Amino acid sequence: MTNDSDPREAPQIYLITPPEFELSGFPGQLGRIMDSVEIACVRLALAASNEDEVSRAADLLRETCHARDVPLILDTHVRLVEKLGLDGVHLQDGARTVRFARKELGADLVIGAYGGPSRHEGMSAGESGADYVALGPISDTGLSTGDLAQRDDFEWWSKMIELPIVAEGGITTDAVEAFAPFTDFFAIGPEIWKTEDPLAALQALTAPLS
């Protein structure tokens, strides 16, 4: 995943799958969303750690995403990425396994890293070889520790660091409006999947980007 757009353009949408979904229905639902809203990237973020479950889901979503020229990134499971023909991995432990992932995946596949609310952790991940860094949550999710990624950190990053930055966690319409000038991507998932109409929820959340 790269940011090759003018920084003044609207941030792109990075979609995160639910932790559980029905294989028979979700790929179609995902496809309909991607046919209606421009999606830059999809992250397969299953709660399951069983390789067979992850593989079956990846096979279906890879077909759905690649048919639309959208990269599919796998959460956490570095060693399954090449085996499943995916486009990269998203790491949840900041900079700690970035170098290992780069050694495993080589130079061409995408490595992203979540740094929590810490700008320092994000910078360390970038220095270790990450292709993008996610910081968050950007507003209270009700489940967070209370530490939030600050708008000032995103503003500083947008001026000082070329590496793409992703706002993730606690995405609200107000947060989208506030952070849009300073982030390259909004990672959206939990905010929409528990609603009756995820597509409508996504469109409402990202309305300030229009």
Q: What is the pLDDT of residues 37-50, one digit of tens each?
A: 999 999 999 998 89
Mean pLDDT throughout 66-86?
A: 98
Mean pLDDT over the full length of the chain: 94
Residue 140 has a pLDDT of: 87
Q: Is the pLDDT of residue 6 over 70?
A: no
Q: Is the pLDDT of residue 145 over 70?
A: no
- For residue 135, what are the β-bridge partners? 167
pTM of the predicted model over 0.85 = yes
Q: Quick check: 35 and 69 in contact, CB under 8 A?
A: no
Domains defined for the chain, CATH in brackets: 22-209 (3.20.20.70)
Spatial CB neighbours of 164, under 8 Å, sequence gap ≥ 6: 1, 2, 3, 131, 132, 133, 184, 185
Question: How many residues are present in the chain?
Answer: 210
CA–CA dist 122, 195 (Å, integer) = 31
Cis peptide before 137 (omega within 30 of 0): yes
Mean pLDDT throughout 92-101?
A: 95
Q: Is the pLDDT of residue 147 over 80?
A: yes
Position 5 confidence tier, pLDDT thresholds 50, 70, 90: very low
Q: Give the type of residue at 140.
A: D
Q: Quick check: 93 and 126 in contact, CB under 8 A?
A: no
CA–CA dist 105, 79 (Å, integer) = 8
Position 143 confidence tier, pLDDT thresholds 50, 70, 90: low
